[in-house]
Structure 1
Amino acid sequence: MYANRYASERRFHPASMGVALAINGGLLAAMLLAGSVSVVRYEDPALNTTAIPLPPTPPEVKPEPQPVEKTVQPPPQTLPFLPKPLIDLPRPDETVMASDPTLPITPPPTTTGTPGGTGTGVAVDPPKPMPVLVDAAPDPRYKDAFQPAYPPAERRAERDGVVTVRVRIGADGRVTAVEPVRATSDAFWEATRRQALSKWRFRAATRDGVAVESWRVMTVRFEMEN
């Protein structure tokens, strides 16, 4: 009997649960709505200003011109009179030495006495002999090699020619350079230049018997044989 009474009181009622949820939902909605509608605005108060007049600008004061002082030039000073220095002239028995260090000083002549006599003399160095120079000359052993070959074009034209050249001859007698002086045509000049550099031989010039380099002018003639 008692057990049934307590069991009926603890039974779950769905209707009461629904009412409770509805009440809570309404309260929550009311809070959210009230929070979204409330707006707080802040406005600055109006600022009242008063214009204060500025003092007037003072006029510009120009400085007064200062008087210019005149510079008085002192009178020119008179230079003292200086007499010219006296120049001592050499005496007849004195030797005058050169005052310029760049000038050579010639020593006095050396006097030598004659053996067994009382006379004096001046020692004179004998003059040096002039160097012996011998010009270069064609080597006779190569005389047949001095005539260049006749240029074919000039031969067909039956034209004669003359070529003058200036050659440099080394100490070994060979030609090391050829310079043109005059030529009848370029063909004659080219034939002479090739022959001189390859075939011409000389006896080299000498200076006191020593072979040296030298220059010599040579003339070559081209003539057609009849």
Structure 2
Amino acid sequence: MDNQAITCNCCCKFFDALRLHDTATAALYAGQALPKGWIHFPLASSKYDVPPRFVSGEAPIYPVRELLDGKPGVAVVRYTIGTDGRVHDAKVLFSSNRYFGTAVLYAMSGWIFKLAQKDGSPVPMIITQPMRFSAN
């Protein structure tokens, strides 16, 4: 496997779309099932012919203290979509608050992907992805 990472350019469409306006709304989405295909990978890449696709998993739970204080945050994570379609070797590269990074890692442990394909064969991928939290 090539060790170069693919960067998700969507900045997490799901979280951007939420732009949660109050704590009650934010609490409704925490830990909820995410829609299929919520992560959009570039269609064209030398690493694959068919991009990976998010199949299932839950949104990270907004850290309670940060939610109550109305604190936004971001966590940038790097992970591998393994040959079993699950997240492996997840690591927080940056987090504006350690609780955001922890919430993302916990949620990712249950995510499932359909593998990318290259020349008709499944290809594990290393992904770098920002995850935004916004309570305003």
Larger Rg: 1
Letter in 2 for 1:133: Y
Scaled by the length of structure 2, the TM-score of the pair is 0.58
C-alpha deviations, 1:36-56, integer Å up to 9, x for none? xxxxxxxxxxxxxxxxxxxxx
CA RMSD of aligned residues (A): 2.2
3-state SS of 2:91 partner:
strand
Letter in 2 for 1:189: G
3-state SS of 2:70 partner:
coil
Gaps of 5+ in 2: 1-45
3-state SS of 2:103 partner:
helix
Scaled by the length of structure 1, the TM-score of the pair is 0.37
2:96 maps to which of 184, 190, 205: 184
1:221 equivalent in structure 2: 132
2:76 equivalent in structure 1: 164
2:66 equivalent in structure 1: 154
Gaps of 5+ in 1: 1-130
| 1:177 to 1:136, Cα distance in 2 relative to 1, 3 A | farther
Displacement of 1:165: 0.5
1:206 maps to which of 96, 117, 123: 117
1:173 equivalent in structure 2: 85
Distance (whole Å) between structure 1 residues aligned to residue 87 and residue 51 of structure 2? 11
Distance (whole Å) between structure 2 residues aligned to residue 212 and residue 136 of structure 1? 9
Letter in 2 for 1:218: Q
| 1:183 to 1:138, Cα distance in 2 relative to 1, 3 A | farther
- How many residues end up aligned between the 2 structures? 91
Distance (whole Å) between structure 1 residues aligned to residue 101 and residue 47 of structure 2? 34
Considering Cα pairs closer than 8 Å and 6+ residues apart, tell me whether 1 or 2 has the greater RCO: 2
Distance (whole Å) between structure 2 residues aligned to residue 135 and residue 163 of structure 1? 27
Displacement of 1:196: 0.7
Distance (whole Å) between structure 1 residues aligned to residue 130 and residue 63 of structure 2? 17
Displacement of 1:208: 1.3
1:46 equivalent in structure 2: none
3-state SS of 1:133 partner:
coil
Structure 1 outlier segments of 4+, above 6 Å: none
| 1:196 to 1:190, Cα distance in 2 relative to 1, 3 A | same
Distance (whole Å) between structure 1 residues aligned to residue 47 and residue 90 of structure 2? 26
